Structure 1
Amino acid sequence: MTRIDDLPLREELRGKSPYGAPQLDVPVRLNTNENPYPLPEELVRRIAERVAEAARGLNRYPDRDAVELRTALAGYLTRVTGHPVGHEGVWAANGSNEVIQQLLQTFGGPGRTAIGFEPSYSMHALISRGTGTGWISGPRNEDFTIDTEAAVREIHARRPDVVFVCSPNNPTGTAVDRETVLALYEAAQEAKGGAGALVVVDEAYGEFSHGESLLPLLAGRPTLVVSRTMSKAFGAAGLRLGYLAADPAVVDAVQLVRLPYHLSAVTQATALAALEHTDTLLGYVEKLKSERDRLVDELRAAGCEVVASDANFVQFGRFDGEGGQHAAWQALLERGVLVRDNGVPGWLRVSTGTPAENDAFLDAVRALMKENKR
C-alpha cells in the first residue's frame, strides 16, 4: 500500500497534518465556532427563490467578477463600520480561506515569507506552506495579546512579505487594538525599504467583538487588507463565502490568480439572499454575544481561567500537567460535550451555542472541576 511519504511530495508538506476538527456524533457539539441558529424560514424561502432564478441560467457561466454581490457586500461593510466602501475595493471567494490563498498566491510564494503571531488561526501557516511561502511564527504575550515591541522587532529583522493579524484572534478570542495594527503596518513598510509588505487583518469574528472594526484603517494604506466571512455572523458556514476589503489595486492584483468563474451562480444568489436579511441575522449575533459573555462569567465562577473574548467562542483552562487539556477534552466528551483542543498547552476552546447547549456544557465543566478537586 502506497503511503503519503512514498509520494514525490514537496518537502515543506512532509510530516504536516491537514486542517480539521473532530466530527463526532455527540449531543452537544461546540468545537467549530459555527453559528448554532438555523437560518430563518423566511430567508430559506428567499434563497430558494434566488437559486431558482439562477438555475434558469446555469447553462451559462456566472458573473466572474460577482459585481452585484461585491456591491452588496460593500454596502454591508459601509453600514456596519461607518467607513465608506465601494465594490471596486471588495473581493469575494469561496470562504475566507480562499481569500487568504489568493492573497498569498499574489503577494507570497517561493522566496517570500509570511508572519503570524501564534497561537492563531492555523490556516494562515498551512496556506502559506501550500503556496510555497515561508512561514514565521511571531511572539505573543503570556495573556495571548500581541507583544507589539517584540513583533515590530521581528518584522524589522525578518522582513516578511505578508503579515497576518487575527482580530479577534482564533483560538484565544483576543482583539487587537488599533495602535498595534498601525505599529505593525508601519514596521512592515519600513522593513521592506518603503516598497511595502501586505498586512492582512483577519476579522472572521469581527461582528462578535465588543469593539469596532479595524476596517477604517484602510484609508491611505494601500497594502492593508481586512478579510471577513459569512460563515459566522451570517450563520452560513455551509455557503463558503468569504470576502476582503482593500485598496482597489489589491483587488485588481488578486484577480491575476483567481480561477475563472470561481464563484458559482448558486453561491452568489445564496449570499445575496442572506444579505437581504442582515438585520435578522445580526439579531442572532447579539444573542450569541450575550451568551458568550455568560460563558465567560460562569466559567470563571466554576474555577476556570478564561481569556477575555471578543469572538463567538471562549478559551478556558488551565488544565495542568502534560496533555492536561486533552484529558479534560476527553472528560467533557464522555459527558456528551465536544469542544476543541487546539494544542495550546493547558487550554481548551468552546464555541458559543444555544442557551440549552451552553447549559449542558457548563454542567459538564462544573462536574469536571469538582472531580479534579478530589
Structure 2
Amino acid sequence: MTWPPIREELRGLQPYGAPQLDVPVQLNTNENPYGPSDACADDIATAVRAAATTLNRYPDREHVELRTALAAYLSKDTPHGVTAEQVWAANGSNEVMLQLLQAFGGPGRTAMSFAPTYSMYPEYARDASTAWVQGRRAEDFSLDLDAAREAVERERPSVVLLPSPNNPTGTALPPDAVGLLCKAAGDDGIVVVDEAYGEFRRTGVPSALELLPEHRNLVVTRTMSKAFAAAGLRLGYLAADPAICDAIRVVRLPYHLSAVTQATALAALRHAPELLGRVDELRAERDRTVGWLRAQGLTVADSDANFALFGTFGDRHAVWQGLLERGVLIREVGPDGWLRVSIGTAHEMDAFKDALSQVMEEQA
C-alpha cells in the first residue's frame, strides 16, 4: 500500500488555498482593506487579557453571550428579529458549513449547488462523506429558477448550498428563489443561503434572514471575515430554526470556540459601526471598478459583493501573471477566461487599473 494510508478519495489531492504572496497590492482573497482602529484593537486586547486569566478552564461551549450579541446584530436585517436560540457560531463560516454537512449530510445523502460557485462546497461534502451534485447557472450567472427547482425535486438533496452574493460571480439571489427552493427541498433537506458577503449587497437587495419565519428548513450563514474586517479572527455563524442549531450540537467538537475567540468576537461586535463604516465606501469603489472594466470593453458580472468577476481572456493566466509582475495580485478563479479582483482602497484600485491597462495593451 502507498504511504501514508490516506483515504483513497483524498490521495493525490492538493489542499485548498489562494496564493499568499508578498506583493504591494493584494486583491485576491476578498478581505476588507481597512483594519481595526487603535481603539478597537485596544478593546480587543483588553478582552483577550481578561480571557487569558481564565485559560485554565474550558470556555463556554454554548457561547451564549456571543450568540446573544450576534442575534442582536442580525436582527437589524429582518423585521422579525433573531434570537440567540436561532444562532450558532464556529471557527469561520467554513466550519459552520462543515458542521452542517456533518449533521445533515453523510453516507447515502447528497449535497447540491449550482456552478460556478464557491469551490470549497464540494470539499465540505467530500469531507462529510456526502455525495455531490452540481447544477448550472445561466449565462449571466443568475439562477434559472425552473431548472433549479426541477434539479432539487429530481435529486432530493439533503443540503442545498446557495451563496448570495455568489462567489466568485458576486450575483445575489432574489427572495423568490430562496422560497421556491426551500419548498422544493421540503422536510427532506435544508437550504443554506451563504451570505458571507451579505453586508456588501446593493441597496434594496434583501437578506434571506427575512424568510426564516416562513421556512423551517432555511439556514442563513454569515462571517466576520469580510465586511467586519476580521479575517484573522476566524468567526462564522448562522441563523436558523433552533432545532437545526440543536442538531449541530451533536456533531460539533467539545469547546470548539476558544475563550480568546469568543472574547475577540464580542469586542469586535462592540465596534460594529466602526468596522462596518467603510462598507459604503467599498461598495462605491466596487461600482466604479465595474464601470471602468466595462469601459475597457470587458464583460463584468453584476456584483453585490466586495469583488468583481471580469473577462473574458484567451489566456487568463498570462493576464494574471502580467498583473503579478507589476505588483498586483488578483485571483485566477471561476469559469475559463475569467478573473476576480477584490475591492481594495482607492489607491490599490488605481494600481490595479494601471497594471491591467498595461497588460491589455501588451497583449493587444
TM-score normalised by L of structure 2:
0.97
Number of the residue aligned with 2:110: 113
Amino acid in structure 2 at the alignment position of 1:165 = L
8 Å contact 1:318–1:346 — kept in the other structure?
Answer: yes
Of 113, 137, 140, 1:140 maps to 137
Of 258, 261, 265, 2:259 maps to 265
Once the two structures are overlaid, the 10-residue window that deviates more, 177-186 or 244-253, is: 177-186
CA distance in 1, matches of 2:6, 2:137: 32
1:112 deviation in Å? 0.7
Once the two structures are overlaid, the 10-residue window that deviates more, 271-280 or 147-156, is: 147-156
8 Å contact 1:303–1:369 — kept in the other structure?
Answer: no
Which residues in structure 2 correspond to 1:156-167 (within 5 Å)? 156-167=153-164
Amino acid in structure 1 at the alignment position of 2:140 = D
Which residues in structure 2 correspond to 1:86-97 (within 5 Å)? 86-97=83-94
SS at match of 1:186: helix
Amino acid in structure 1 at the alignment position of 2:260 = V
SS at match of 2:148: helix
CA distance in 2, matches of 1:72, 1:202: 20
8 Å contact 1:109–1:132 — kept in the other structure?
Answer: yes
Number of the residue aligned with 2:199: 207
Number of the residue aligned with 2:332: 341
Amino acid in structure 2 at the alignment position of 1:267 = T
8 Å contact 2:175–2:206 — kept in the other structure?
Answer: no
1:56 deviation in Å? 1.2
Per-residue CA deviations over 1:229-280 (Å, capped at 9, x if unaligned) read 0000110000000000000110011000111111001100000001011111
Which residues in structure 2 correspond to 1:39-54 (within 5 Å)? 39-54=36-51
8 Å contact 2:77–2:210 — kept in the other structure?
Answer: no
Number of the residue aligned with 1:24: 21
CA distance in 2, matches of 1:327, 1:34: 24
1:305 deviation in Å? 1.1
CA distance in 1, matches of 2:313, 2:298: 9
Q: 1:341 to 1:70 in 2, by over 3 A?
A: same
Once the two structures are overlaid, the 10-residue window that deviates more, 15-24 or 48-57, is: 15-24
CA distance in 2, matches of 1:12, 1:82: 45
Amino acid in structure 1 at the alignment position of 2:84 = H
TM-score normalised by L of structure 1:
0.94
8 Å contact 2:92–2:235 — kept in the other structure?
Answer: yes
SS at match of 2:234: coil
Number of the residue aligned with 2:313: 319
Number of the residue aligned with 2:294: 300
CA distance in 2, matches of 1:61, 1:296: 48
CA distance in 1, matches of 2:151, 2:278: 40
Amino acid in structure 1 at the alignment position of 2:326 = R
SS at match of 2:19: coil
Of 364, 367, 372, 2:358 maps to 367
Of 100, 104, 113, 1:103 maps to 100
8 Å contact 2:192–2:219 — kept in the other structure?
Answer: yes
Per-residue CA deviations over 1:171-208 (Å, capped at 9, x if unaligned) read 0000011111111111111xxxxx33111000000000
Query: What is the number of residues matched between the two proteins?
Result: 362
8 Å contact 2:168–2:334 — kept in the other structure?
Answer: no
SS at match of 1:256: helix
8 Å contact 1:13–1:130 — kept in the other structure?
Answer: no
Q: 1:156 to 1:14 in 2, by over 3 A?
A: farther
CA distance in 1, matches of 2:114, 2:323: 29
Identity, in percent, stands at 60
Gaps of at least 5 residues in structure 2 are none
CA distance in 1, matches of 2:269, 2:77: 12
Number of the residue aligned with 2:218: 224
SS at match of 2:31: coil
Per-residue CA deviations over 1:342-369 (Å, capped at 9, x if unaligned) read 1520100000011110100011111122
Of 336, 341, 362, 1:350 maps to 341
Per-residue CA deviations over 1:321-350 (Å, capped at 9, x if unaligned) read xxx111211111111111000152010000
CA distance in 1, matches of 2:28, 2:41: 25
Give the superposed CA RMSD. 1.3
Per-residue CA deviations over 1:50-103 (Å, capped at 9, x if unaligned) read 111111111111111000000000000002333300000000000000000100
8 Å contact 1:302–1:369 — kept in the other structure?
Answer: no
Number of the residue aligned with 1:192: none
8 Å contact 2:116–2:334 — kept in the other structure?
Answer: no
SS at match of 1:219: helix
Gaps of at least 5 residues in structure 1 are 190-194
CA distance in 2, matches of 1:17, 1:151: 30
